[in-house]
Structure formats: C-alpha cells, structure tokens
Amino acid sequence: MKVEEIRALKSGELGKQLEEAHKQLFDLRFRLSTRQLVNHQEIKRIRKDIARISTILREKELEIE
C-alpha cells in the first residue's frame, strides 16, 4: 500500500489492515519454512506495510492527544 492510501483510512480500518498484514506475514513465513514460497520479496513488502500502518496509527494517536 502507498502512504496516501493508508493516510486516507480511518483508525478502525487501519487496525483491520494491520491485523490482515500480520496474518499475511504469518502465512508467508509458514510457506517459507515449508519451502513453498516462490517470491521471497513478499515478506519484505509485507513487513514494510506493517511498519507504515503502525507509524500512521501512532501519528493519529498523537494528533488526538
């Protein structure tokens, strides 16, 4: 996801996106351990998405305070 897309979402939607990204990361790591993962770059992409979502969630929390 791009930063602009993430910023457009509300906090509740961001929480759902973050949970979904964690599930995807778990699935990718599982497929990696069973040697079924073809594209290893997917893990890196999902980890960066998680970091982006977490950062924007924190920014929104600080704005409220």
- Which CATH number goes with the domain that contains 10? 1.10.287.310
10-53 residue pLDDT tens: 989 999 999 999 999 999 999 999 999 999 999 999 999 999 99
Question: Which pLDDT score is estimated for 58?
Answer: 95
32 close to 54: Cβ distance less than 8 angstroms:
no
**CA distances from residue 15 to 9, 11, 31, 37 in whole angstroms, order as listed:** 10, 6, 24, 26
Segments forming the whole domain that contains residue 22 = 3-64
Nearest to 54 by CA among 26, 29, 23, 22: 22
pLDDT of residue 64: 84
| pLDDT value of residue 1 | 76
Q: What is the pTM of this model?
A: 0.90
pLDDT of 55 higher than 90: yes
Give pLDDT, residue 2: 86
Number of domains in the chain: 1
What token pair was written down for 37? 């993962």
